[in-house]
Amino acid sequence: MIFIKSEEEIELLRESNLLVGKTLGEVAKHIRPGVSTLELDRIAEEYIRSQGAEPGFKGYGGFPNTLCISVNDVVVHGIPSARCILQEGDVVSVDCGTLKNGYYGDSAYTFEVGQVAEEVHRLLETTKESLYKGIEKAMAGMRIGDIGHAVQSHCENAGYSVVREMVGHGVGKNLHEDPQVPNYGKAGQGVKLKEGMVIAVEPMINMGKRHVFQENDGWTIRTRDRMPSAHFEHTMAIGKKGADILSTFEYVEQALRKQ
């Protein structure tokens, strides 16, 4: 069932998603070689709680932490760990959720640790571009397949592959609501988008083949060929003339400019 949000609900979702953007900005300030992913998780949890909100992922389906932190060939759902120390040249996807006033925020950004290989940098750039290609289609009257098709064609044209097993989703009083928002598909197919739907678009794009597997921890999703993967995510409200992006990379970009 797809819930259509009222203007009031969209403002509450904007608040929660703004907090996700600010939290990612706080995390961005601390990403460097030598920091553990558990330390980044602690920074995020403290910040979210200091703003009168709760981490959206902690305890969700039994997930143990505030952030999903996924390094290099980990696609998504990496569990923060004191033993996972970021190294020069790594890429690290940080996915953050918040729960504030009963509504969820959800957004993700893939960071470069120090200097990364040019081909890895290009994977990140293309994945981020594909997110905005998808968002261009996120308006009333378009269909879910239009979003997936835009993401898929942009990434496949660049020689990358699209993960199939995980998809974007509706966001509201639940972290994951209908409809599912795949990063692949056919233009003109699937659920028709309506004003007031709120969805997360989140391309997960692999440098090598699309296949992934889940580790024994029950969470970590890794590429089968162990090549790097990138992940960017925004939550948005569907409007008549386009998407109203509720999350933001502004604070991340501010932090990155200062480095």
Binding region for Mg ion (CB under 5 A): 95, 106, 108, 200, 233
Q: Which is nearer to Mg ion, 62 or 240 (CB)?
A: 62
CB neighbour class for 6 (10 Å; exposed up to 12, middle 13-18, buried from 19): exposed
CB of 118 to Mg ion, least distance (A): 27
CB of 169 to Mg ion, least distance (A): 6
CA atoms of 237 and 33, how far apart (whole Å): 36
CB of 170 to Mg ion, least distance (A): 10
Q: Which is nearer to Mg ion, 108 or 237 (CB)?
A: 108
Q: Which is nearer to Mg ion, 225 or 244 (CB)?
A: 244
Whether the bond between 55 and the residue before it is cis, its omega within 30 degrees of 0, is no
Extract the runs of DSSP E, i.e. beta strands, from 134-226: 161-162, 168-170, 177-181, 198-201, 204-206, 212-214, 221-223
Q: Which is nearer to Mg ion, 38 or 108 (CB)?
A: 108
Q: Which is nearer to Mg ion, 28 or 108 (CB)?
A: 108
Q: Which is nearer to Mg ion, 151 or 200 (CB)?
A: 200
CB neighbour class for 129 (10 Å; exposed up to 12, middle 13-18, buried from 19): middle
The pair of three-digit structure tokens given for residue 198, joined into one six-digit string: 């709120």
Q: Which is nearer to Mg ion, 38 or 167 (CB)?
A: 167
CB of 3 to Mg ion, least distance (A): 16
Q: Which is nearer to Mg ion, 56 or 257 (CB)?
A: 56
Phi/psi of residue 36, nearest 5 degrees? -90, 155
Residue with tokens 């233009």: 187
CB of 38 to Mg ion, least distance (A): 19
CA 94 to each of CA 9, 12, 99, 200, 240: distance values in angstroms, whole numbers, following the listed order: 26, 23, 17, 15, 31
CB of 135 to Mg ion, least distance (A): 14
CB of 202 to Mg ion, least distance (A): 5
Collapsing DSSP states into helix, strand and coil, what is residue 226? Answer: coil
CB of 106 to Mg ion, least distance (A): 4
The pair of three-digit structure tokens given for residue 246, joined into one six-digit string: 């509720």
- Nearest-5° Cα angle at 21, 25 to 218: 95
Strand partners, 236: 199, 245
